[in-house]
Copies of this chain bind each other. A is one copy, B any other.
Amino acid sequence: MTTILVVEDEPEIRRFLRSTLGAEGYRVVEAPNARRGSVDAGTHKPDLAIVDLALPDYDGRELIRDIRKWSSMPIVVLSARHQERTKIEALDAGADDYITKPFGVGELLARVRAALRHAARSPAGQALVLGSAKVDLEKRRAWRDGAEVHLTPIEFRLLAFLAKHLGMVVTHRQLLAEVWGPPYVEQTHYLRIYMKQLRDKLEADALRPRHFLTESGVGYRLVADEEP
């Protein structure tokens, strides 16, 4: 049975999460603050954690760093509209995705499913299908409409990192640090240039990307097939 830890202080939202996730067959463990969340993450060994960033005792980002010291469980962050900066820091701290309040049931479940799928996916990336394009991460080869497409080293590393976090948000910082190296975490312009190249090579319509999605002010997200 899949267990989800919910760390949230507002009773209303907690109730909503409990009923929504419960109805989907997940077991829900609730913690009203960060301290309890930290303990419950250790004792209940949940398959996924949903963490509100604004907690009464200490910061959700701290909690995420705490958990990341010993676990790689998927973490989905709940953030309010105005916490743009905090949200990004939470992602940099190791969160996998975020949901902005107010959110709908569909969005919540989609994100949860994506995160669980991501965690369960075998480490072998295998073949990645993006509409009419296909990528073999092992063989470092890509095709579009049957014809092979050549990817340069940077393009490939960028794609590989996005694919490693398939469906999850990856911040500008993370991408730049990973693909170009830590000194380049501010060169967001490089990202725009190379994202365009990937889109040109792999998207059916580069003007309306369906797989290489922009998360404005945050980063990018690679979506394979049939995901919101």
Cα-based distance from A107 to B160 in the complex (angstroms): 13
Residue of B nearest to A11 (CB): B70
Beyond A123-B19, A164-B102, whether A139 also contacts B181 by CB under 8 A is no
Q: Are A81 and B180 in contact (CB-based, < 8 A)? A: yes
Please indicate the chain B residues that have their CB under 8 angstroms from the CB of A70 in the complex.
11
Which chain A residues in 29-85 approach chain B with CB under 8 Å? 70, 72, 80-82
- Least distance between A153 CB and chain B CB atoms (Å): 8
A120 touches B (CB below 8 Å) = no
CB pair B82–A182 under 8 Å, yes or no, is: yes
* Cβ < 8 Å to B, chain A residues 1-48: 11-12, 15-16, 19-20
A105 touches B123 (CB 8 A): yes
**Known contacts A104-B137, A105-B124; A82/B16 CB under 8 A:** no
Contact with B along A119-144 (1 / 0, CB 8 A): 00001110000000000011100000
CB of A166 closer than 8 Å to a CB of B: no
Cβ distance A49 to chain B, nearest Cβ, rounded Å: 16
Q: Is A209 an interface residue (CB 8 A)?
A: no
- Excluding A81-B181, A106-B138, A139-B228, 17 further A-B contacts by CB distance (< 8 Å) are A12-B72, A16-B123, A20-B123, A80-B178, A82-B181, A82-B182, A82-B183, A102-B178, A104-B124, A104-B125, A105-B123, A105-B124, A105-B125, A105-B138, A106-B124, A138-B228, A153-B216
Chain A residues with a Cβ under 8 A of chain B: 11-12, 15-16, 19-20, 70, 72, 80-82, 100, 102, 104-107, 123-125, 137-139, 153, 157, 160-161, 164, 178-183, 216, 228
12 A–B contact pairs at CB < 8 A? A81-B178, A82-B180, A82-B182, A82-B183, A100-B157, A102-B164, A104-B137, A104-B138, A105-B123, A105-B138, A106-B138, A153-B216
